[in-house]
Amino acid sequence: MALDARETLYMVIPAYNEEATIAAVAREWHAVLVQQGGPDSRLMILDDGSKDQTAAILNGLQDELPQLQVIRKTNSGHGATIRMGYALALEQGADYIFQTDSDGQTEPGEFTCLWREREHFAALIGHRVHRGDGLARVLVAFVLKTLILLMFGVSVTDANTPFRLIQRDALKTCLDHIPEGFFLTNALMSVLLARYQLPVRYVPITFHPRQAGKNSIRLSKIIPIGWRALCEFWQVRRSLR
């Protein structure tokens, strides 16, 4: 079902050194946006200071994809880039904001599973039942879920999934408590949605192996990632008192 003409959908996609996949990802998600969205909807891809040809490829796609909006920025990391995209989407009047990644691991055809339920939930979040991105990522997800339970006393099904649709007001409520530059923006958003008892549904999704490039998470990084998450979560927890 197409969007109401009064509603605006923004798709927020961070990209860093994704020259092998970015053209296909942009075309696939732009097609979904055009099918579902109105004229003011945008596919917002934020190039996080890529060192390869990602920026040049995106620039070459702008005539082909009229609702593509490319944001170029200095490198600040995945979480900080997502937070920037969320803030820009709100500033530009988005009614619904969807976030996914640029590595081709999520399935555009599954967007409708979230979209058709949009009026009934503050947020709809993908649940990666079968993950194709390796043991290290699975362990990081387990560590993250455990930290969230210990730190905030809430259990989340899949805290950091890069496949989520959220209503404007719910996003604003969460973003007000997520500092700029935050490491795990989506994970903290999941915590805040649970903390404020907003209606959330986790929807099983397909999660493909990375299509190209290198997986940035290795087993050796699990302890440093866990420690950084713990420190940043602790600061936010104190601010929520």
pLDDT in tens, 45-63: 999 999 999 999 999 999 9
Question: What DSSP designation does 3 have?
Answer: P
Closest CA to 20 of 216, 161, 210: 210
Looking at the chain, how many residues does it have?
A: 241
Count the helix, strand and coil residues of the chain and give each as a percent rounded to the nearest 5.
Answer: 45, 20, 35
Range name among 81-95, 131-145, 213-227 with the lowest pLDDT average = 213-227
214: confidence class by pLDDT, cuts 50, 70, 90: low
pTM given for the model: 0.89
Domains contained in the chain, CATH given: 9-239 (3.90.550.10)
**Residue corresponding to tokens 């503050």:** 122
Work out whether the CA dihedral 8, 13, 19, 25 comes out positive or negative.
negative
Question: What DSSP designation does 202 have?
Answer: E
